[in-house]
């Protein structure tokens, strides 16, 4: 069976020459490429996507104009044996994948593809025969349309010289090339920053007696255990005779003075570094007070709101040798003026290359933001036939109302309905007519047959439902939307527990954040309430 314009034998020779040996994956990939090509309109210019790094990219590069080098082939590490060819202008094309359900007639292919036996126990000659005979019959095809960003032409943009390694690189990558930012695969390369290269510049130690009349090079801290901690002398302050006794009491017999500072092109003082970090770390709703003290500068909330932290960016920043930033946990309510983070350079002088490396991390955006909570118009829907019949008194609405009003929102209406789908649907419609933009439903979310709140919400037009969250208490929480109206379903556990998933999710909703399944999954780490006899939430680890 031919593979495109080539016979089986011709393709074997091509694969061995390009790939190094006749890998089964490249052979199967040949049939996959040919199957996609056959379904593209004649003469169309196309790009390629490959969903595995193993073998399949070589089949694409052998049989199409698409390669990694010309950027017409994108390789994603999805681990799926699949490829797509698509019109590079409109994005329409075909996806081809090896379909496990079609392998039963080809036992050796199935054994190889699903790794049912070690490689040395597989029958390679038989495997080759089955691949040639099967062709693309083991594959399935799907019509696809690419997302718009995959149709854009890519350009390196402006080229500059990396100030650290002095090699050319795309300026869009940051202040340093990606290798000098720490992405290099090499253990050591001259010119790149390694973990042991943050050394101090040569500074002259001056006896304090000879420092009189000269200027301090940095803040000098005085600590009285259990009483106070603060700078006794400030950076730039002139040393006087009266300071000598105080310095001796602090255990300072030699100090650094500003007479002989290191080359500013190569070294950055801790105060200048801290100020640069603060400017880059602070996003909307965050400010900082200057100048730095003791080499450190604090970031503060500029307004009341929810603290948002880009944890991945913070981690990357702290991986740079010689810098640090420590802050509060994200998704907590903060008040104007509260300290939310502190940053500094660890050494007195930081290599300028390390400064640029840290700032490059922050070029993508700030780490901290305080987002204001909107004043939501809330509708509360209480479900429970037992309440409607007067068998029990509703306690849910007062709990929800108190929590939303505490965060500055107001309740436009409360409706209590029985556990009936139509009643729930109609109540939702009535609350929407009042102009609410946040609907809070209570109870009716468990596995009991009488609990039909979810079904009633769907009847009312709820979409994008997320049911269930890794939060205790509150595992049966529901999130959805009805048009522009946010919906949160609060399980019955909120009648007993003081704090539940509702307390963790409500502030996020009030900031307008879109909560995804990925967000909920990440909350599982730290979302177990300890049920302390005296609750101190939010000054505890619930939701952190």
Nearest to 145, CA basis, from 75, 66, 78, 90: 90
H or E stretch including 305? strand 305-309
**Domain around 177:** 158-187
Count of alpha carbons within 13 angstroms of residue 358, beta-carbon side: 30
The CATH number covering residue 163 comes to 3.30.60.80
Q: E-assigned strands of 114-236? A: 139-145, 159-161, 168-170, 205-207, 220-224, 228-233
Q: What is the pTM of this model?
A: 0.71
Is there a domain that residue 209 lies in?
A: yes
| Residue linked to tokens 């640069």 | 276
Decide which of 308, 338, 367 is a domain's last residue. 367
**Pair 282, 329 in one domain:** yes
Is there a domain that residue 219 lies in?
A: yes
Is there a domain that residue 532 lies in?
A: no
**Pair 124, 170 in one domain:** no
**Pair 245, 297 in one domain:** no
**Pair 94, 143 in one domain:** yes
H or E stretch including 369? strand 368-371
**Pair 402, 485 in one domain:** yes
The CATH number covering residue 505 comes to 3.40.980.10
**Pair 39, 103 in one domain:** yes
Decide which of 367, 401, 418 is a domain's last residue. 367
Is there a domain that residue 530 lies in?
A: no
Rounded Cα gap, residues 396 and 173, in angstroms: 53
**Pair 49, 116 in one domain:** yes
Tokens of 229: 């901690």
Is there a domain that residue 261 lies in?
A: no
Is there a domain that residue 381 lies in?
A: yes
The CATH number covering residue 331 comes to 3.90.1170.30
Say what the pLDDT of residue 196 is. Answer: 42
Rounded Cα gap, residues 172 and 192, in angstroms: 19
How many domains does one find in the chain?
5
**Pair 311, 407 in one domain:** no
Is there a domain that residue 173 lies in?
A: yes
* Residue 23 · residue 55 · CB < 8 Å: yes
| Bridge partners of residue 440, in order along the sequence | 380, 488
Is there a domain that residue 285 lies in?
A: yes
Tell me how far CA of residue 39 lies from CA of 66, 202, 214, 333, in angstroms: 17, 69, 81, 55
**Pair 271, 360 in one domain:** yes
Say what the pLDDT of residue 450 is. Answer: 66
**Pair 363, 389 in one domain:** no
Rounded Cα gap, residues 216 and 240, in angstroms: 11
Nearest to 395, CA basis, from 410, 376, 414: 414
Q: E-assigned strands of 428-520? A: 438-442, 463-467, 478-482, 485-490
- For each of the chain's 544 residues, which pLDDT tens digit applies? 799 899 999 999 999 999 999 999 999 999 999 999 999 999 999 999 999 999 999 999 999 999 999 999 999 999 999 999 999 999 999 999 999 999 999 999 999 999 999 999 999 999 999 999 999 999 999 999 999 888 877 677 899 888 778 899 998 887 778 888 778 888 766 555 544 455 667 777 889 888 888 888 888 888 888 888 888 888 888 889 888 888 888 888 888 887 778 888 889 999 999 999 999 999 999 999 878 988 899 999 999 999 999 998 998 899 888 999 999 999 999 999 999 999 999 999 999 888 998 998 898 899 999 999 999 999 999 998 889 998 989 999 999 999 999 999 999 999 999 999 999 999 999 999 999 999 999 876 777 776 789 999 999 999 999 999 999 999 999 999 999 999 999 998 988 999 999 999 999 999 999 999 999 999 999 999 999 999 999 889 898 8
Tell me how far CA of residue 434 lies from CA of 68, 213, 382, 428, in angstroms: 57, 74, 16, 10
H or E stretch including 109? helix 107-113
| Residue linked to tokens 């099967």 | 134
Nearest to 372, CA basis, from 304, 301, 309: 304
Rounded Cα gap, residues 322 and 273, in angstroms: 11
Rounded Cα gap, residues 236 and 217, in angstroms: 6
**Pair 239, 309 in one domain:** no
**Pair 398, 489 in one domain:** yes
């Amino acid at each position: 069976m031919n593979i495109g314009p080539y016979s089986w034998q011709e393709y074997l020779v091509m694969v061995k020459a390009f790939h190094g040996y006749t890998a089964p994956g490249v052979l199967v990939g040949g049939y996959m490429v040919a199957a996609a090509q056959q379904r593209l309109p004649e003469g169309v210019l196309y790009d390629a996507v490959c969903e595995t790094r193993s073998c399949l990219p070589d089949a694409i590069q052998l049989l199409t104009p698409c390669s990694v080098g010309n950027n017409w082939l994108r390789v994603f590490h999805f681990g799926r044996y699949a490829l797509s060819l698509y019109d590079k202008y409109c994005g329409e094309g075909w996806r081809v994948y090896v379909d496990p359900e079609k392998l039963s007639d080809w036992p050796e292919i199935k054994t190889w593809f699903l790794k049912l036996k070690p490689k040395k126990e597989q029958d390679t000659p038989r495997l080759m025969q089955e691949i040639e005979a099967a062709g693309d019959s083991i594959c399935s095809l799907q019509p696809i349309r690419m997302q718009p960003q995959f149709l854009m032409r890519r350009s390196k943009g402006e080229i500059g010289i990396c100030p650290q390694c002095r090699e050319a690189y795309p300026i869009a990558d940051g202040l340093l090339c990606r290798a000098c930012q720490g992405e290099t695969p090499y253990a050591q390369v001259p010119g790149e920053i390694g973990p042991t290269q943050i050394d101090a510049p040569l500074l002259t130690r001056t006896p304090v007696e000879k420092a009189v009349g000269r200027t301090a090079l940095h803040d000098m801290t005085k600590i009285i255990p259990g009483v106070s901690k603060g700078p006794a002398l400030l950076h730039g302050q002139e040393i006087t005779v009266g300071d000598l006794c105080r310095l001796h009491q602090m255990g300072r017999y030699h100090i650094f003075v500003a007479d002989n500072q290191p080359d500013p092109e190569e070294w950055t003082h801790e105060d200048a570094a801290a100020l640069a970090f603060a400017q880059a770390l602070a996003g909307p709703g965050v400010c900082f007070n200057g100048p730095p003290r003791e080499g450190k500068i604090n970031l503060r909330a500029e307004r009341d709101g929810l603290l948002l932290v880009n944890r991945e960016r913070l981690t990357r920043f702290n991986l740079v040798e010689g810098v640090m930033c420590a802050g509060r946990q994200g998704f907590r309510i903060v008040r104007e003026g509260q300290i939310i983070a502190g940053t500094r350079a660890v050494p007195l002088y930081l290599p300028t290359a390390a400064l640029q490396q840290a700032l490059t991390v922050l070029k993508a955006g700030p780490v901290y933001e305080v987002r204001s909570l909107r004043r939501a118009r809330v509708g509360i829907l209480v479900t429970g036939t037992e309440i409607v019949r007067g068998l029990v008194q509703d306690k849910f609405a007062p709990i929800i109302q108190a929590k939303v009003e505490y965060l500055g929102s107001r309740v436009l209406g409360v409706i209590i309905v029985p556990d009936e789908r139509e009643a729930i649907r109609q109540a939702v419609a009535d609350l929407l007519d009042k102009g609410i933009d946040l609907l809070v439903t209570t109870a009716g979310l468990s596995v009991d047959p009488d609990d039909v709140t979810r079904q009633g919400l769907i009847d009312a037009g709820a979409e994008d439902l997320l049911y269930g969250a890794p939060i205790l208490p509150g595992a049966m929480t529901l999130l959805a939307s009805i048009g522009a109206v946010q919906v949160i379903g609060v399980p019955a556990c909120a009648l007993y527990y003081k704090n539940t998933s509702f307390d963790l999710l409500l502030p996020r909703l009030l900031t307008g954040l879109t909560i995804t399944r990925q967000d909920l999954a990440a909350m599982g780490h730290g979302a177990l309430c300890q049920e302390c006899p005296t609750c101190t939430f939010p000054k505890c680890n619930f939701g952190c």
